[in-house]
Amino acid sequence: MSVAFTFPGQGSQAVGMGKALAEAFPASRAIFAEVDAALGEKLTTVLWEGPAEALTLTENAQPGLMAVSLAAMRALETEAGIKLEHDAAYVAGHSLGEYSALAAAGSLTIGDAARLLRIRGRAMQRAVAVGAGAMAALFGLELEAAREIAAEAAQGQVCEAANDNGAGQVVVSGDKAAVERAVDIAKARGAKRALMLPVSAPFHCALMQPAADVMAQALHEVTVRPPAVPVVCNVTARPITAPAEIVQRLIEQVTGTVRWRESVTYMANAGVTAFYEVGAGKVLSGLVKRIVDAATGTAVGTPADVAALKAARAPINVTI
């Protein structure tokens, strides 16, 4: 059996996430302390006590979700004896989760990942005036159909496919009026559902170019190492290991489409049959099961999940 570890993106956050890990495992607790120290503030207070409005802020949600993912990964390492370089064929993360994947694989330090995600969150929020942009989810349409709808809806504005999540779920992003037109067109074209999303900014579209410029500078100021495991990146849906390419792809990711369906399909075609979602929520596990019929998706974000994977440790062997 070949295994991949995946890391969730924004939207999976919830007040209290990761607290049980910190209480159960000293190694997980150390990750949260490291993130707090890197940011110079008690992000853990927001994670565990809220309020929800503060946690939902992009500048908090992004490093917070990474912290939970790395706390869960560290628990797997110390409690279940898992080592990515031996037990995983690939790692991958959805949007900000790509930073979590890189940190888990040793390409970025946890401190650098936290600081980069704080910068990324703030830059993405500031790139577009509040209320000027929007995102919408289109259900029952494949990527090309969604792209055609977005192009028709643009009418001189920005409207692009932001996330190809798989199973007929595509998210479009751009100027608010254009995204609203895309919703209407999608409904008229037979989409099962089309709805506006409660997000604070239009992520993963051309409107995010100012944030991409900020990240270009920030990423060139940190050390990026070759990851211990190939990282299947969002914008190419192919594995990368060279530090220079990692930096370039992370810059492109700010404005580019998150090609999650293709990423999962690539890993499955390369022999991966078990996907472990490390961190908060179960979104990616659900998507895996709908993208690849023969694959299993398992969420690992609580002490009970860690214990279950430890008990099932024997089957985890990489064959590539």
- Digit-coded pLDDT (tens) for 139-148: 999 999 999 9
Candidate list 12, 28, 69, 95, residue with the active-site label: 95
Candidate list 12, 28, 94, 204, residue with the active-site label: 204
Enumerate residues 6+ apart whose C-beta is below 8 A from 131.
176
Q: What is the pLDDT of residues 97-136, one digit of tens each?
A: 999 999 999 999 999 999 999 999 999 999 999 889 999 9
Enumerate residues 6+ apart whose C-beta is below 8 A from 216.
251
pLDDT at 314: 54
pLDDT score of 200 more than 90:
no
Cα 252 from Cα 235, distance rounded (Å): 7
Enumerate residues 6+ apart whose C-beta is below 8 A from 285.
275, 277, 297, 298, 299
User: SS3 for 1?
Assistant: coil
Q: What is the pLDDT of residues 270-282, one digit of tens each?
A: 999 999 999 999 9
Q: What is the pLDDT of residues 218-262, one digit of tens each?
A: 999 999 999 999 999 999 999 999 999 999 999 999 999 999 999
pLDDT at 101: 98
pLDDT score of 313 more than 80:
no
* Closest to 246 measured CA to CA, from 214, 213, 210, 222: 222
| pLDDT mean across residues, the chain | 95
Give catalytic status of residue 95 as yes or no: yes
Instruction: Write phi, then psi, for 228 (nearest 5 degrees).
Output: -70, -20
Note the residue count of the chain: 320
Q: What is the pLDDT of residues 8-17, one digit of tens each?
A: 999 899 999 9
**Higher pLDDT pick, 318 / 80:** 80
pLDDT score of 209 more than 80:
yes
pLDDT score of 320 more than 80:
no
Give catalytic status of residue 12 as yes or no: no
pLDDT score of 319 more than 50:
no
Give percent of the chain with pLDDT exceeding 90: 93
